[in-house]
Structure 1
Amino acid sequence: MLKYSLLLLIVTTCLLGACSKSLSNGDTAFDVQVNATDLAVGDTATFSFRGNPDVITFYSGEVGKRYEYRDRISADGIPTLRFRTIRANGAQANSLAVMVSDNFEGVLVKDTPATVSRITSATWTDITARATLSTGGTAAVVSGSIDLSDFSTKGKPVYVAFKYQGFAGSAQSKWTIDSFSVKNVLADGTSYEIANMNAGNISFTNYGVPSFSPGFSAFRVTNSYYWVVNNTTLVITGATSAAAAAPAEAWVLLGPVDLKKVTPDIGVQVKNAAQRAEDLKLIYKYPAVGVYNIVFSGGKVSSEEGQYTTKTFQITVK
């Protein structure tokens, strides 16, 4: 029994020792040197490295590449909606409304009746008066910048919708909407697109960082007229003659939209575990005048751990 206990103690000690051993051969410490910190536009900064970290990531300090915003996904700004419209065929008044809701419960996939019920039971705020809409003609009319700050202060995601109505007695309007965009404009002048005409599986970029829009969905409430949705336009055509005109209602909507959304900044990897730091040089050119706070983040990484340190520089480009 004593031999068994001693053997068990030895095996346990070995296992604990193995578990405590790092799976990485890298170090957390490393060093970076730069040839100059004052540059003219068009000059290059050359960085060299020493040490044995598994990875080194470079944050240039430019918008979209700032270390301090690498985990930021939300920021207070002014959420701004813009789009363009063209009205053709009939000239029925109040045939297009711009609507916003923060309590619509969402689209139910493959259950149109239930989704329509959710649309009609949700509370929608009509913001049409904030927009400039087409009154006819072939030229697209820009809506102007529509401030949605009164919705963002509630801290809830919203749905944005276009509600079409057709009426009996006269030819009904055809509406074309394009250039739809919602942006979060921050106090520092940066602007982050958070929704656009793209389908939900088609990415766009903010300062080089990929993001996605929720995509539009279309639903009929009454009559057979339907919004046609693609990646560039939203189009609905009602009855083209008074004789064919009958009451109609159809919606096209997008959401949920977080009006405080921003895309996190990203860095560029300059070293991986297979490379020697001493063999690497990073040559970087800043395209514009400014003061840039550069951060190199590096360290030891494995499937079990991640330990990092940073090296910082401030470069002035004149």
Structure 2
Amino acid sequence: MLSYRNIIATIIAVAAITSCNKSQLDLAPISSFDVQADSMNVSHDGASYSLGSPAIFNFTGNPAAITFFSGEVGHRYNYRNRTSATGISRLIFTNALNAGTQANSLHVMLSTDFKGVVGSRTVIQGVVTTNTLVYDTAATQANIAAASWTDVTPSKLATNATAVIDTIDLSAYAAAGKKVFVAFKYTAQAGSVQNKWTITNLTLSNNLTDGTIYNIGNLAAYNVPILNYGGTTFNAGWMAFPVSNTYNWAITAGSSLVITGASTAAAATSNAEAWTLMGGCDLTTVTPDIGVAVKNISVAPLPFKYLYTAAGKYDAVFAATNLTTYTQDSITRKIPIVIK
């Protein structure tokens, strides 16, 4: 026999489910959703607005959610799921030689078969429990040595502290369809002051024919996503490993890569080699376009205003969705907009 407490709990649960289902069933059929541009000037090209005046959209129907894609770069409905596109891949960076005169001490290297940095997580129990990623330097050094590397060093690196901007076209590697690891390899010789190099303003980008540029890599930390036109993309980040001697790259996230060898001839008793690496990077990466939430299930549809910041023609798209226990329906409405 059910106890009184169980009966009351059952009644409350049924009431909650009934209430939830009622709100879901009150949603208008998705097919009733429509959008009209509130404009005094409508032609076959679309609704026209003056630059600086907001476009106004009125809704009919009551879907659970409405998402707006303005048609601007980064907010185009047709590209909402696009993650790859063929363009021109460019690595751009600024370099400066701050000390030393040794020749051929900096190399830009690429690999498509580097097996990556080796590491494992170590949990340390204490007053504050930490979960730390510990890198295996020896295993990573072995992977560097085993990989095939192509030297793409520019012919005109800096020769003194005056910074030089270099651009390297990596499009051939994008066409190969493999992820690429980018590295700076530092070498120094014993017997004289060893060079100090500073790398700044680094970007790895995919440049499309429509003029859009999608950054794929930079100097930011791996846990800081790359922002392209309002959307975010994974950032591989940089790691540094000495191969011989103890001199290593100093990574200042978001700012620079710096390496300093022996600062005097007397201190330069042995050769040195160190690598800093980023990757793997898909050179065809683009950031999917994103929309803006206009309405959710808890609010009624109201007139929506949006201010375009540049003259031109845009395909504004409203994507409406009904998602209930019983159904999942969606529909889109496209409104051509002209900003003069």
TM-score by length of 1: 0.89
SS at the partner of 2:247?
coil
Q: How many angstroms apart in 2 are the aligned matches of 1:255 and 1:23?
A: 48
Matches within 5 A, 1:25-174: 25=25, 26=27, 27-29=29-31, 30-36=33-39, 37-109=47-119, 110-129=135-154, 132-137=156-161, 139-143=162-166, 145-174=167-196
1:265 alignment partner, SS class: coil
Change (3 A) 1:23 1:108: farther
Aligned pair count?
294
* CA positional deviation for 1:23: 9.2
What is the CA-CA distance between 1:254 and the residue it aligns to?
0.2
The aligned counterpart of 2:44 is: none
Q: 1:244 aligns with which of 264, 267, 277?
A: 267
- Cα pair 1:97 1:126 within 8 Å, conserved: yes
Which structure 2 segments of 5+ residues have no match? Answer: 1-17, 40-46, 120-134
Higher mean alpha-carbon deviation, 57-66 vs 302-311, is at 302-311
Please say if residues 110 and 151 of structure 2, whose CA atoms lie closer than 8 Å, have aligned partners that are also in contact: yes
Within the alignment, does 1:269 sit opposite 2:293 as a pair?
A: yes
CA distance in 1, matches of 2:181, 2:187: 19
Aligned 1:212-223 pairs, distance under 5 A: 212-223=234-245
Paired residues of 2:216 and 2:226 also in contact (CA < 8 A): no
SS at match of 1:128: coil
The aligned amino acid for 1:107 is: V
CA contact (8 A) 1:47 1:281 kept: yes
Task: Name whichever of 158-167 and 36-45 sits farther off.
Answer: 36-45
47 and 261 in structure 1: CA distance in 2 versus 1, 3 angstrom threshold:
same
Q: CA deviation at 1:40?
A: 1.8
Map Cα deviations across residues 12-54 of structure 1 (whole Å, 9 max, x no partner): xxxxxx9xx9994333220111112112211221111111211
1:6 — aligned with what? none
Per-residue deviation, 1:305? 5.1
Shift of the alpha carbon at 1:90?
Answer: 0.9
Give, in whole Å, the separation in 2 of the partners of 1:187 and 1:216: 29
Report the equivalent of 1:300. 322
Checking the alignment, whether the CA contact within 8 Å between 2:217 and 2:226 is kept in structure 1 is no
SS at match of 2:30: coil
- CA offsets per residue over residues 245-291 of structure 1, 9 Å max, x none? 121000000001110000000101111011122xx111111111111
Is 1:185 the equivalent of 2:207? yes
Alignment CA distance shift 1:23-1:101 (3 Å): farther
Quick one: structure 1 residues 127 and 303, their matched pair in 2 at CA, closer, same or farther if it must change by over 3 Å? Answer: farther
- Aligned counterpart, 2:3: none
The 8 Å contact of residues 176 and 234 in structure 1, kept in 2 or not, is answered as yes
In structure 1, the partner of 2:249 is 227
Aligned to 2:15: none
What amino acid sits opposite 2:294 in the alignment?
A: V
Match of 2:284 among 250, 260, 266: 260
Instruction: Give, as a single letter, the amino acid of the residue that structure 2 aligns with 1:316.
Output: V
Distance 1:82 1:305, change over 3 A: farther
Tell me whether 116-125 or 202-211 shows the greater mean CA deviation: 202-211
1:170, CA displacement in angstroms?
1.2
| Aligned counterpart, 1:315 | 337
- 2:233 partner SS: strand
Q: Indicate whether 1:198 and 2:220 are aligned.
A: yes
- Partner deviation per Cα, 1:53-77 (whole Å, 9 max, x = no partner): 1111100000000000000000000
Task: Tell me, yes or no, if the aligned pair for 2:183 and 2:276 is still in contact at 8 Å.
Answer: yes
Identity of aligned residues (%): 46
Shift of 1:204: 3.2
